[in-house]
Amino acid sequence: MPDRSVPETTLFDDLVHQQISDLVQRADPDVPFKLKVSNAEDGVDIEIPVEFVSKVGFRYAVILPRTRTAYSSFANDLSRWNLPSPVLAITYDREGNIYYGFPWGPLGLPSRSDTKRKFPNIRAGLRAFFNALRLLAAKRA
Residue 89 lies in a domain: yes
Cα separation, 121 vs 65, in Å, equals 20
Contact 12, 20 (CB under 8 A): no
Residue 134 lies in a domain: yes
pLDDT at position 109: 66
Residue 117 lies in a domain: yes
The rounded Cα 63 to chain-centroid distance in angstroms is 3
Residue 97 lies in a domain: yes
Closest CA to 19 of 133, 115, 116: 133
Beta bridge partners of 102: 105
| Domain encompassing residue 15 | 10-140
Question: Is 135's pLDDT higher than 80?
Answer: no
Residue 94 lies in a domain: yes
Question: Is 130's pLDDT higher than 60?
Answer: no
Question: Is 117's pLDDT higher than 50?
Answer: no
Helical axes 10-27 vs 119-140, angle rounded to 10°: 140
Q: 18: how many CB neighbours lie within 10 A of its CB?
A: 16
Cα separation, 19 vs 24, in Å, equals 9
Q: Which helix (H) or strand (E) holds 33?
A: none
Instruction: Give the count of domains, the chain.
Output: 1
* Mean model confidence pLDDT for the chain: 74
More confident residue, 39 or 82: 82
pLDDT at position 125: 53
**Tens digits of per-residue pLDDT, 11-30?**
777 778 887 777 777 777 88
Question: Is 105's pLDDT higher than 50?
Answer: yes
Cα separation, 44 vs 83, in Å, equals 10
Residue 78 lies in a domain: yes
pLDDT at position 47: 92
pLDDT at position 12: 78
Burial class (CB in 10 A: 0-12, 13-18, 19+), 36: middle
Residue 88 lies in a domain: yes
pLDDT at position 115: 41
pLDDT at position 119: 47
Residue 74 lies in a domain: yes
